[in-house]
Structure 1
Amino acid sequence: MELRLRGVGHSYGARAVLRGIDLDIPAGQIVCIVGPSGCGKSTLLRMMGGLEEPDEGEVLQVGEAPKQCLNPLTYIFQDFALLPWRTVAGNVSLVLEDHGISRADARERIENVLERTRLTEFAGALPRQLSGGMKQRVAIARALVVNPAVMLMDEPLSALDSQTRELLMDDLISLWIRTPFTAVYVTHNLAEAVRLGHRIVVLSRRPGEVREVVTLDKPLEARAYGDADLEVKQKHLWELMRAEAAAADAELIGG
């Protein structure tokens, strides 16, 4: 299944947030969205997920969802959103409980996704016993267990320290190489974008418009920290954003 956005625009009262967004999210790709503060990145993600309706244009779901898909769209947030009284396996199982699947199917799904995210030995642990990076891996496992058509990821690594972010990026790349998934990944971090994205959508300052879509042809498995090619791409992204980022920050400070 693909997402297609056509002429999407949105305002909060008199303040225009997004304008004229035309964008395709191809199946099997990670599409990163970057842009100055306040340019509407998270609003755009909410519209893709159906949490908000655009004032203009439309968001289309095209094609069939994957086999055994329980939720076509699922979110991963920066705050983990784990229930502290549930174990790792219990937090993952939570999203299966309203789907009427058999216990055997649920158990198979949970075991599979814990193995994929390297959490099997922590299945009985509580969130308070886990590091921040481990908690986010649980959140990723919980999203994957419903076999979604598209994962919508809103700054999923921004609450983590730099070392943990690097490890989680490695985890996401390994997951994608093993079983390619479709994701829209909102981030302020350009290094994350060039490390993870097959395509990077650069939005202008508010009202956000698509300024450029940057394609990265280098395979995910060939990318690494300190990669010279990625640094060139990252510099290009910053040159696109530099002036507007400064102007957006000044605008936010001024209210």
Structure 2
Amino acid sequence: MDIRLDSISHHYGDTEVLRDISLEIPSGQIICLVGPSGCGKSTLLRLIGGLERPEKGRVLQLGSAPEGCLNPLTFVFQDFALLPWRTVKGNISLVLEDHGIRGAKAKAIIDDVLARAKLSDFAGALPKQLSGGMKQRVAIARALAVNPAVMLMDEPLSALDSQTRELLMDDLVNLWSRRPFTAVYVTHNLSEAVRLGHTIVVLSRRPGQIREIVTIDTPIQDRRPGDPVCQMKHDLLWGLMREEARAADEELLDV
């Protein structure tokens, strides 16, 4: 299933947040959204996911969801959103219970996503026993359990330290390489965008508009820190954003 954004504009009160956003999100790719603070990245993600309706324009779902898809659009947030009294397995089973899936069928799905996320040995652990990186892996496994057409990821690694972030990026690359999925990935971290994104959409400062669309042809499984092509793309993105990021920071400080 592809997603098409057709001339999306949005206000909060008198504040214009997004202006005339048109974008294609093709199946099987990770699309990263970057831009200065307050440019509307997370708002755009909520509009794509149906948590809010755009003031103007349309979000179109084109084609069919994959076979066995329970939720066409599924969110992964930065705060993990795990139930502390449920085990790893229990947190994942929750999304299946909402669809009436229990017993052997649920077990097969849970065992599959636990294996894909390298969590099989932690099925009985409680969230309080897990590191931040492990908790986010559980959140990703839970999203995969519903076999979504598109995962909507709102700064999923921003709460983690740099070493854990690198490990989680490796995990996401491995997950995608074994079974490609579609994702819209919001981040303020350009290294994440260059590491994970097939396409990187640069938004301007508020009101957010598409300033540039940057593609990276190097397969994501072949990208490494310090790779010359990745560094060139990183520098290009920062060059596009630097002055607007400074202006947005000063604007936020004045509020």
Q: Do Structure 1 and Structure 2 share a fold, with TM-score over 0.5?
A: yes
Amino acid at match of 2:98: D
- How far residue 221 of structure 1 moved from its aligned partner, in angstroms, is 1.0
Aligned to 1:131: 131
Pairwise mapping of residues 41-56 of structure 1 onto structure 2 (< 5 A)?
Answer: 41-56=41-56
CA distance in 1, matches of 2:68, 2:82: 24
CA distance in 2, matches of 1:110, 1:29: 24
Aligned to 2:205: 205
Is contact 2:11-2:17 (8 Å) kept?
A: yes
Is contact 2:96-2:102 (8 Å) kept?
A: no
Aligned to 1:72: 72
CA distance in 1, matches of 2:140, 2:100: 22
Amino acid at match of 2:39: C
Aligned to 1:162: 162
Aligned residues: 255
SS in 2 for 1:225: coil
- How far residue 225 of structure 1 moved from its aligned partner, in angstroms, is 1.7
Aligned to 1:37: 37
- How far residue 102 of structure 1 moved from its aligned partner, in angstroms, is 4.3
Amino acid at match of 1:223: R
Amino acid at match of 1:191: S
Specify every segment of 5 or more residues in structure 2 that has no aligned partner in the other structure, as ranges.
none
1:195-237 per-position Cα deviation (integer Å, ceiling 9, x unaligned) = 0000000000000000010000000111012212111100000
- How far residue 250 of structure 1 moved from its aligned partner, in angstroms, is 1.2
SS in 1 for 2:213: strand
1:14-69 per-position Cα deviation (integer Å, ceiling 9, x unaligned) = 11000000001100000000000000000000000000001010100100000100
CA distance in 2, matches of 1:234, 1:205: 19
CA distance in 1, matches of 2:57, 2:149: 22
SS in 2 for 1:156: coil
CA distance in 1, matches of 2:210, 2:134: 34
CA distance in 2, matches of 1:253, 1:51: 29
Pairwise mapping of residues 76-225 of structure 1 onto structure 2 (< 5 A)?
Answer: 76-225=76-225
1:97-126 per-position Cα deviation (integer Å, ceiling 9, x unaligned) = 121234221110000000000000100000
CA distance in 1, matches of 2:162, 2:98: 36
CA distance in 2, matches of 1:90, 1:102: 12
Specify every segment of 5 or more residues in structure 1 that has no aligned partner in the other structure, as ranges.
none
CA distance in 1, matches of 2:202, 2:34: 5
Amino acid at match of 1:254: D
Percent identity between the two aligned chains? 70
Bigger CA drift: 243-252 or 186-195?
Answer: 243-252
CA distance in 2, matches of 1:220, 1:109: 26
